[in-house]
Amino acid sequence: MSNILELHNLKKYYATQKAVDDISFNISKGSIFGLLGPNGAGKTTLLRMITGIFFADSGDIIFDGKKFDPLNDIVKIGYMPEERGLYKKMKIGEQAMYLAQLKGLSKSEAMEKIKFWFQRLEMQSWWNKKVEDLSKGMSQKLQFVITVLHEPKLIILDEPFSGLDPVNANLIKDEIYGLAQRGSTVIFSTHRMEQVEEICDHIVLVNLGKKILDGSVNDVKQQFKENKFGIKLYEVPANLDSSAFEVVDQKANALTVKINEGFKSNDVLQFFIQQNLTIESFNEILPSLNDIFIHLVEGTKATTRAFQKI
Amino acid sequence: MNKVLLIIQREYLSRVKNRAFILTTILTPLLLIGMIAGGAYFSIQGKSDHKVAVVDANGFFKNNLKSSKDLAFEFPDDVDTTNYISKGYSDILLIPKFNGNEKTTYILRSKKSIGLVIEEKIEERINTAIEDKKLQDNGITKAKLDSIHKQSQFAELKTEQQSGTSVKESSEKAASLIGYSCGILIYITMIIYGMMVLRGVMEEKTNRIAEVMVSSVKPFQLMAGKIIGIGAVGITQFLLWVVLIITLSSIAQSFIPHETLEQVKAMQQNGGVMPTGVGVMQASEGAQKIYDLQHSFSTVNWSLVIGCFIFYFIGGYLFYAALFAAVGSVVEDLQTSQSLTLPITMPIIFSFFIMTSVIQAPETKLAFWASIIPFSSPIVMMARIAFGVPTTVPYWQLGLSMLILILGFLFTTWLAGKIYRTGILLYGKKITWKEMIKWAFTKTA
């Protein structure tokens, strides 16, 4: 699969800090990509460079096989910033038309696409309403539609689910899957790890302007696994001493064990089978992205950095 | 469609369709005419007639002090300062014994303040009375004196301007009136539409639409579109005002009696005076006034004034609007914007004051420099142009002023563009002009 976006040694320094400090990664076409990082890690600066709002101090951005040309490529990108914004006094239909035309659609194309999306997300009756009359969740939906309306090759969503109820969050999530299936690439910036685990194929974690993690969700978990397994037994034996593992946690008849160096999961099973005990379930416990995130970020100056002067 | 055009279109339509715009456009000329009419009405109605009781120790004022409808002098015998009110007089004038050539003090006592105009009138009439008395003392008969008074005001000053060999009639009155009105109009519009730009930019920033917008268009396009769109709103409003005022004044003209208009026409054909001859009526006071007005305005080079007005309106607007946009991009509420707009509004207000003095003397050094420097040239130069080009304002000055204004707004737009692109995405920080200037001259974004 070819890459929609390649970042090569991207740098952006402000007067007092290195917002983005030599970051490189690739995003393959049609994937859902998670850009993770604590507040002030440099995510927004990075996204603003990818959307052509900021220019990098050095480094290259390759978009769809060619050097990124903000003036022309901007229409192939849809960006939903974390801070949502719409013209409050403007009618919703007119607003969607305006923003779609600014993305290079003709009037008739824009009208067609807006009708399609409004119908799809049951927003037809909103056309003559003003944004100030919408609830937070409703305007969030509108913002999403405006972002994806022009069928961009690259869709960048900064915290897309904040402010949405579970029903609408699911609706948007399904749309994100759908867009990826139809060939769009989605960059998903958030610090809600459970959503990342659920949705993303590939993640990059940035902290203090540097990339500290890069890989598929599964690879990352494998990389940080601690050889922990969960075992459920119908009957827990009194003697759990074994050279193969140590019991880390025990809740009723569920055990969490850590396999010692040089042993395999089968050695654990063998220990219980030999004692003629019936095993109800046995599974590997992988660390959650949340754990990995906290593990990697904790102890750095990440939180203080967010309040530094720009 | 071009993105800037789209932005201009939105900025323009969203404002022109606004109910407030329609209301102010219709109401302002009505209000203006109402104010003028109201002012005229009250100046007639509010004029209280003064009935002055005169206590004269000399005795000769009775024949020489002239009375008129609004200021009547009477010489009752039994009136003094204690009872003049009860006898029905509004004021009492005490004239002491006249003492040769020495300056003498007269006392006027009133129950309420008499106002400057009446005070001057009374003083003037007393002096005329004394003058008349002295002339009579020196052998001029009363009859002769009266006939002289009747035909006084022989002289009428007609001013002309010379440029090369051609001589053109000029009217200082009309010139200052036009210069003043043009200056005020540009002053008001620069502030009104400048503030509109500031609010528009600020709104985009606080609504957080700015970041959505700049992911579709360049910040400069966004700023330029807004400035041009609002400028177009201003021009639209102007044109509508012109149309409305012309319509209203032609309606007003239909109230002028037909006879008066005939007289005006006759004067126009005869070079400003009523044709003399048997059976020709005398021009009424009203007709004379209308003729004078029309005549003095006809001495103005209108196509030049209107052309320059449009140029300085657009130039001045662009010059300041860019600065207002820069401020709008760094503030999040109107209150904090005040300290930042002060350095912009101060030069505008200053130019207004300079303009009022330039009207009195359009050829001073101050007038020259103020009409060259782009901060004040839209207002000051506009006021000077009414006095005549190339007589008062040589062509080279006009050209230089225009050129510098164009360079000026290109510079402010460039400067504002730099500030704007940084400011529009920056939140929660108080920005000073110093920092803004720093952004403009260092590498940003």
Q: Are residues A55 and A187 in the same domain?
A: yes
Q: Counting Cβ atoms within 10 Å, is residue A266 exposed (0-12), middle (13-18) or buried (19+)?
A: exposed
Q: A25 in a domain, yes or no?
A: yes
Cα nearest neighbour of B14 on chain A = A90
Section A146-161 average pLDDT: 90
CA distances B23 to A91, B15, B27, Å, are: 21, 12, 6
Identify the CA nearest to B425 among candidates B200, B201, B226, B227.
B201
Residue B219, pLDDT above cutoff 60: yes
What is the per-residue pLDDT for B13? 92
Handedness of CA A187, A190, A192, A193 (dihedral sign): positive
Q: Is A252 left (phi over 0), alpha (psi -120 to 50) or beta?
A: left
Q: Are residues A70 and A183 in the same domain?
A: yes
- Say if the Cβ atoms of A98 and B10 lie within 8 Å: yes
- Say if the Cβ atoms of A98 and B207 lie within 8 Å: no
Q: A300 in a domain, yes or no?
A: no
Residue A304, pLDDT above cutoff 60: no
What is the per-residue pLDDT for A159? 86
Q: Which of B17, B199, B216 to mutate to test the interface with A (most CBs of A within 10 A)?
A: B216
The shortest CB-CB distance from B211 to any of A74, A81, A99 is to A81
- Residues forming beta bridges with residue A207, ordered by sequence position: A210
The whole domain housing A98 covers: 3-222
| Number of structural domains in chain A | 2
* Least Cα separation, residue A293 to chain B (angstroms): 28
Q: Are residues A68 and A21 in the same domain?
A: yes
pLDDT in tens, B69-93: 778 888 888 888 888 888 888 888 8
Banded pLDDT at A306 (limits 50, 70, 90): very low
Q: Which of A45, A53, A72 to mutate to test the interface with B (most CBs of B within 10 A)?
A: A53
pLDDT in tens, B330-348: 988 888 888 889 989 999 9
**Across chain A, what does the average pLDDT equal?**
86
Look-up of token digits 């005076």: B273
Q: Are residues A198 and A277 in the same domain?
A: no
Identify the CA nearest to A187 among candidates A48, A305, A23, A295.
A48
With beta carbons less than 8 A apart as the criterion, state whether B348 and B186 touch. no
Cα nearest neighbour of A309 on chain B = B429
For this complex, say whether ipTM is above 0.85.
no
- Say if the Cβ atoms of A98 and B6 lie within 8 Å: yes
What is the per-residue pLDDT for A267? 87
Q: Which of A159-163, B287-291, B417-421 has the lowest mean pLDDT?
A: B287-291
What is the per-residue pLDDT for B168? 66
Q: Which of B205, B209, B420, B430 to mutate to test the interface with A (most CBs of A within 10 A)?
A: B209
- Say if the Cβ atoms of B215 and A53 lie within 8 Å: yes
**Distance (Å, whole) CA B370 – CA B354:** 8
Section A80-93 average pLDDT: 86
Q: What are A's interface residues with B at a Cβ cutoff of 8 A?
A: 48, 51-55, 71, 74-75, 77, 79-81, 83-90, 98-99, 101-103, 143, 146, 310
Q: A306 in a domain, yes or no?
A: no
Q: Are residues A110 and A251 in the same domain?
A: no
Cα nearest neighbour of B208 on chain A = A85
Q: A62 in a domain, yes or no?
A: yes
pLDDT in tens, A9-23: 988 887 777 888 888
- Say if the Cβ atoms of A102 and B3 lie within 8 Å: yes
Q: Phi/psi of residue A150, each to 5°?
A: -90, 20
Which CATH number do you get for residue A29?
A: 3.40.50.300
pLDDT in tens, B230-279: 999 999 988 898 888 888 878 877 777 777 777 777 777 776 666 655 44
- Say if the Cβ atoms of A85 and B212 lie within 8 Å: yes
What is the per-residue pLDDT for B195? 93
**Across chain B, what does the average pLDDT equal?**
83
Residue B181, pLDDT above cutoff 60: yes
**CATH 3.40.190.10 residue ranges for chain B:** 50-140
With beta carbons less than 8 A apart as the criterion, state whether A286 and A189 touch. no
Cα nearest neighbour of B204 on chain A = A87
What is the per-residue pLDDT for B7? 93
With beta carbons less than 8 A apart as the criterion, state whether B36 and B255 touch. no
Banded pLDDT at B140 (limits 50, 70, 90): confident
Banded pLDDT at B61 (limits 50, 70, 90): confident
Q: Are residues A103 and A240 in the same domain?
A: no
- Residues forming beta bridges with residue A256, ordered by sequence position: A230, A249
* Least Cα separation, residue A4 to chain B (angstroms): 18
**Distance (Å, whole) CA B96 – CA B92:** 13
Q: Are residues A195 and A51 in the same domain?
A: yes
Taking contacts as CB-CB distances below 8 angstroms, the residues of chain A near B208 are: 81, 83-85
- Residue B50 has, within 13 A of its CA and on its CB side, a CA count of 23
With beta carbons less than 8 A apart as the criterion, state whether B178 and B386 touch. yes
Look-up of token digits 């590939």: A202
Q: Which of A83, A154, A158, A162 to mutate to test the interface with B (most CBs of B within 10 A)?
A: A83
Q: Which of A264-273, B91-100, B186-195 has the lowest mean pLDDT?
A: B91-100
What is the per-residue pLDDT for B225? 94
Rounded to two decimals, what is the model's pTM?
A: 0.78
**Distance (Å, whole) CA A85 – CA A143:** 8
What is the per-residue pLDDT for A287? 86
pLDDT in tens, B183-213: 888 998 899 999 999 999 998 988 888 888 8
What is the per-residue pLDDT for B9? 93
Residue B49, pLDDT above cutoff 80: no
* Least Cα separation, residue A296 to chain B (angstroms): 29
With beta carbons less than 8 A apart as the criterion, state whether A49 and A61 touch. yes
Domain end position, chosen among A171, A188, A222 = A222
Q: Are residues A57 and A166 in the same domain?
A: yes
Q: What kind and span of H or E run contains A228?
A: strand A228-233
* Least Cα separation, residue B47 to chain A (angstroms): 51
Identify the CA nearest to B227 among candidates B314, B302, B349, B115.
B314
The answer for residues whose C-beta is within 8 angstroms of residue A102's C-beta and 6 or more apart is B3, B6, B7, B213, B216, B217
The answer for residues whose C-beta is within 8 angstroms of residue B381's C-beta and 6 or more apart is B308, B312, B371, B372, B393, B398, B401
Q: What's the CATH superfamily of B50-140?
A: Periplasmic binding protein-like II (3.40.190.10)
Q: A301 in a domain, yes or no?
A: no
**Distance (Å, whole) CA B16 – CA B100:** 73
Banded pLDDT at B50 (limits 50, 70, 90): confident
Banded pLDDT at A228 (limits 50, 70, 90): confident
Taking contacts as CB-CB distances below 8 angstroms, the residues of chain A near B445 are: 53-55
Pairing outcome for strands A185-190 and A202-207: unpaired
The shortest CB-CB distance from B216 to any of A54, A55, A74 is to A74
Taking contacts as CB-CB distances below 8 angstroms, the residues of chain B near A101 are: 1, 6
What is the per-residue pLDDT for B278? 46
Q: Counting Cβ atoms within 10 Å, is residue B328 exposed (0-12), middle (13-18) or buried (19+)?
A: buried
The shortest CB-CB distance from A86 to any of B3, B209, B216 is to B209
What is the per-residue pLDDT for A308? 43
Q: Which of A154-163, B14-23, B146-155, B404-413 has the lowest mean pLDDT?
A: B146-155
Q: A143 in a domain, yes or no?
A: yes
Q: Which of A65-74, A108-117, B154-163, B190-199 has the lowest mean pLDDT?
A: B154-163
Q: A114 in a domain, yes or no?
A: yes
Section B29-50 average pLDDT: 74
What is the per-residue pLDDT for B273? 63
